[in-house]
Amino acid sequence: MRRRRQRPVPPVNEQSSDAELLRAVAAEQTAALRILHHRHAGWLRARLRRRCADPDVIDAAIQDTFVAVWDDAHRYEERAADAAAWLWTIAVRRLVSALRGPAHRWLSDPAADLSDDVATTPSAEELVLLGVEHGALGPALDRLSPELRSLIEATALDGLTVREAAKLFGIPEGTAKSRLTRARTRLRELLT
Amino acid sequence: MTTVTVSGLSKHYGARTALDSVDMTIDVGVTGLLGPNGAGKSTLLRCLATALAPDDGSIRVSGLDPAVPAQRTEVRRRIGYLPQNPGLYPNFTAYDLLDYVAVLKEITETRRRRAEVRRVLGEVELTDRAKTKVRKLSGGMRQRLGLAQALLGDPALVILDEPTVGLDPEQRMLFRALVSRLGERRTVLLSTHQTEDVGALCERVVVMSGGRVIFEGSPRELAGVAEGQVWLSEEPPKGSTAYWRNADGLYRTIGRQPAGAEATRPSIEDGYLLLLGAAAAAEVAR
Amino acid sequence: MTAEWHVDSELREQYERGALEPSRLMAVEAHMLACAGCRGEIQVDITWLTGNFSVVYDNIHAPRIGPVQRLLARVGLPEHRWLLLTATPALRWSWLAATIAVLGLAIAGSLLSWSGDPGAASTLFLVLAPILPVIAVSGAYGPAVDPMHEITGTTPSAGPALVLWRAVAVISIATVMAAVAGLLMPGPGWLAAAGWLLPALLLCTGTLALATILSLPVAASVLGGLWLTGLLAVQQAQEEVFVPTLFGPSAQISYLAAAAVAAAVLFRRRSRFDLGESR
């Protein structure tokens, strides 16, 4: 069901805020979707590239994202989320569903393999607060095993649910949960 | 390169003669077909667009003869036509309408058709109105949509019947800009009864009256027809009815010099009116 | 908070190259999610951007393909054909008219048979069923039913092929609907189920043949009217043998013969369906 337009939406331009653009998209203004796309497609692509090596899959995921935005823009107002975060959540889910199946090409991070064990539970906000120059968390994260780190990344940073992350990595949900707990404990140790 | 050749073209509706042995050639660029209502402009355009079969005479579009069924389809592949009353389905969105016409124009492959629809929407500046239903478009937008459907398939010959009728000045300007851009590499033939349209965008002009071609040439040559026959005076001229007061408060007369009047540079309209007057006189004399 | 720190060009370059260690990568991403400025610094090729958006644009504007179409595509009716067969408003109306007529007929038939007169029900059906495809075909093509006809008629698809395509499509659907209704009729099964088919064939080909002279709706009403008045006249003259006279074997053979003649006329005059030929 497509439910549309109650009151007229003012015209938008390059300077309009994301929320204004999304309201205009909900009122079926193609121009608003174009501005939104041109504003966000670049960083979405850069970030999706860190998750997937196939440019065609990435391009398709971005296209799917904005088609979904066109259909669902009216839902945006109901949530209090930031538009960029909302877009990212859609985009990463699109990528995950595109990659689902036996031959998934999700990139685990390229860094070296350190000791298997434990990590942290940093929320995205915590990471922002810490920044790169804050010493403790960085090395701790780097010392996590790749599989624990990917799980942290998928849940804390990409906003996937544990179930989605488990599906993505092809492991049972229970395993994912216990690994996440392990990662948390381990990070706490490394940070104190 | 001659795109269209017409010779001896005639069409009758019962006793009325709509086209009376018309000869003309049209080349790349914008050609204006000027004439009063009932002069036969629409009939000529409909014959050229293969919407109507003439009674007599021949048409060649890029050397092809639309009277032969097999070649007629070839002709249709080369033309885009905007009728005077296009009848665009009011409940279609702009996109769906173009999609449908694109199918009629044999652009059957979906990806190519979408690209083509997107291209013509961009060309007439309706990209952001694609989702709007035809009945909700303004008159000017609807006319641009009509132009867009004519441009599908990139035809070499574009035929526009009275495309500027009913447009406000702003829309008219936009439409003229679009059409003059088209004339850069295509043959565009448009009918109008507005001399301003001709002056603003046509390289050539053909004047019709009573189903005949009474003038063929450049807009400058059309104005030149009235050279030495247009006068300005401060008093209303005596013994003449063909005069009007212009914005400077002077009286403008076409024809013989009234007493105390000075010659002035003729406009396209002057030439046009003089031609029509002469044609009417000739008609009476016959 | 984060206002003090932004992703500088070196860090951004490393990020885009994929050269950052995990913790810094995560930090850059987390920061970018919160900072429009740093997001905007990521360079993107305008050609890629417009190309990517054009797919989005097509997706949101192009008509979405419904399940019926998908099914038809699978049995060999491509999307563009479907568009040609369903696009004009008049075509949609004539589909609707035919459907409603069939429903009405079915209801009238069952009412009559319940009221204890199954013979009248099947006679009514035999008389009216052949007209249904004619109603359907009347909206298929032409200036009278298509406001965009002047445009349609000057495209390369115009001409007899398009008329016949549309006519065949509407006729076959209407025929199938009438056939289903016929099976539900009371009375001698074969007659109601099949007796009207040849008259319908005659009326349809006759309508199309006549439409090379008149417009389709006029041709349809002329022939439909002739059929009804003719039947009425016969009924008045010989009421008791009405059905055998008009739907018996010899009558059926003459319908078939007449339909063949109409088809031959249609074939010879098919080029008249082109608008380029004035009427």
- Find chains touching chain C: ≥3 CB pairs under 8 Å: A, B
ipTM of the complex: 0.87
How far apart, in whole angstroms, are the C-alpha atoms of residue B286 and residue B119?
Answer: 52
- Does C243 contact chain A (CB < 8 Å)? no
Sequence-ordered list of residues with C-beta below 8 angstroms from that of B262, at least 6 positions apart, any chain: B231, B232, B233
Q: Which two tokens stand for residue B159?
A: 């035929």
Could you report the per-residue pLDDT of B229-252, keeping only the tens digit for each?
Answer: 888 888 887 766 677 787 778 888
Q: Which CATH class is domain A124-191?
A: mainly alpha
Chain C positions touching A144 (Cβ under 8 A) are 22
pLDDT at C95: 67
The sheet with strand B79-82 has its strands ordered as: B79-82, B157-160, B187-192, B29-34, B204-209, B212-217
Does domain A18-99 fall under CATH 1.10.1740.10? My reply is yes
Is A19 in CB contact (< 8 Å) with chain C? no
Compute the distance between CA of residue C169 and CA of residue C87 in angstroms, rounded to an integer.
13
* Residue range C23-55, pLDDT digits in tens: 778 788 888 888 888 888 888 889 999 999 999
Contact C56 A133 (CB under 8 A): no
Is the confidence at residue C252, as pLDDT, over 80?
A: yes
A128·C26 Cβ contact <8 A:
no
Supply the pLDDT for residue A129: 45
On the CB side of A101, how many CA atoms lie within 13 Å of its CA?
6
Question: What's the rounded mean pLDDT across residues B178-194?
Answer: 91
CA distance A174 to chain B (A): 45
Position A192 pLDDT exceeds 80: no
Contact C195, C126 (CB under 8 A): yes
The DSSP result for B46-78, as a single string, is HHHTTSS--SEEEEEETTB-TTSHHHHHHHHHH
Q: Concatenated DSSP letters for C93-138?
A: HHHHHHHHHHHHHHHHHHHHHHTT-HHHHHHHHHHHTTHHHHHHHH
Distance CA C228, CA C233 (A): 9
> A76 at the C interface (CB within 8 A)?
no
CATH 1.10.10.10 in chain A, residues?
124-191
Q: Which residue of C has its CA nearest to B97?
A: C87
Structure confidence at residue A58 as a pLDDT band (50, 70, 90): very high
What end-to-end distance do the CA atoms of chain B give, in Å?
37
Torsion angle of alpha carbons C209, C212, C217, C223, nearest 10°? -30
β-pairing, B157-160 vs B187-192, is parallel
How much is the pLDDT for C116?
A: 67
Structural domains in chain B plus CATH codes: 2-217 (3.40.50.300), 223-285 (no CATH)
Q: Distance (Å, rounded) from C-alpha B186 to C-alpha B208?
A: 23
Cα distances (angstroms) measured from residue C91 to each of B55, C87, C95: 32, 7, 6
Q: Is C73 on the interface with B (CB under 8 A)?
A: no
Chain region(s) in chain A for CATH 1.10.1740.10: 18-99
Closest residue, chain A, to B131 (C-alpha): A28
Residue A107: alpha-carbon gap to chain centroid = 14
Q: Read off the pLDDT of residues A76-132 as tens digits, 9 standing for 90 and up.
A: 865 667 888 889 888 988 888 877 654 455 555 433 332 232 233 344 444 444 444
